Amino acid sequence: MARLSANLFNYLDEYHLSFQTLLDNGLKSRECRYKEDAIQMIGKLDLESRSEVRVLSIGSGNGDVDFHFINALVDKYTAIHYTVVEPANGPIDKFKRLIESNKDKWNGVNFTFHVQEVEEYLEEGGTSDKYDVIHACHSLYRFRDAENTLRYLYNILSMEGMLLIRVIKDESHSRYQTLLDNGLKSRECRYREDAIKMIGKLDLESRNEVRVLSILLDPAMVGNRMLDFLTVVLNFRNSRPPDEVEDCLRYFRDECCYVKANEIMFDYAEEDIIIWRKQHAQ
């Protein structure tokens, strides 16, 4: 009988801690790329006629990605309403501290927080609002009903608004998930292929952009939390058979990593799926 393993997505605090470990020990190119991407995306918005630009951020975590979007927004618009939907309390507390440390620059931004899953937010009246920008960065994996949730999000997008879905593109580093029990296969949408299929099914036009982020994999730093994030298994090192753990470590070390300036690097590919809601020509 296969040994049971816990899906990291079901443990929000552990998930955020594991992801932060990955950020602290790698992803060297992430911050620069995210800043550039946010500036380019917000630069394409044509919302000058709005008295207030409304933004919905789904699965924001501690606000490290939002930081770049907010900076780009305040450089272009004077009044912004920024709604955050995040189910974990810990990251929201960090987000609020980030707001406090940037209060002078962000004084034109009105923030509201909802500690819940996006489906709960929508069921409790979130669909009554319209948003000019909606972004879900690596949160699509947690959607209970990804297809209907994407439909709802598109429906609450204002004309000329932008919906951004950021997902993992390359499944190579998740090879070991296929060896685990069916408990890890319950999420309806995990990777970009699923998102692309759903967007096509919903008949939405999208534009895709790919970035490759380099992760520094210092063997001394590849502890339990980093392994948990890369395999999406809680306590992977101790919950999986020893030979599988060794096989996983060997795979990361020998098959999908490379050496650059005496550092072990791993390329982590992301894809941005960008959907614009345009007024149909008469």
| Residue 107, domain extent | 28-214+269-276
Across the chain, which distance is largest between two alpha carbons, in Å?
64
CATH number for the domain including 142? 3.40.50.150
Report if residue 37 sits inside a domain. Answer: yes
Report if residue 219 sits inside a domain. Answer: no
Higher per-residue confidence, 202 vs 45: 45
Predicted confidence band of residue 240 (pLDDT cuts 50, 70, 90): confident
Report if residue 257 sits inside a domain. Answer: no
Question: SS3 letters for 150-214?
Answer: HHHHHHCEEEEEEEEEEEECCCHHHHHHHHCCHHHHCCCCCCHHHHHHHHHHCCCCCEEEEEEEE
Report if residue 62 sits inside a domain. Answer: yes
Whether the model clears a pTM of 0.85, i.e. scores above it, the answer is: no
Kindly report the average pLDDT of the chain as a whole number.
Answer: 78
Report if residue 185 sits inside a domain. Answer: yes
* Structural domains in the chain (count): 1
Report if residue 7 sits inside a domain. Answer: no
The structure tokens 């490379």 sit at 258
Report if residue 3 sits inside a domain. Answer: no
Residue 12 in contact with residue 45, Cβ under 8 Å? no
| pLDDT reading at 95 higher than 90 | yes
Report if residue 141 sits inside a domain. Answer: yes
Higher per-residue confidence, 45 vs 253: 45
E strands, 29-106, where? 53-58, 80-85
Token reading at 279: 């007024």
HSE-CB of 274 using CA atoms within 13 angstroms: 17
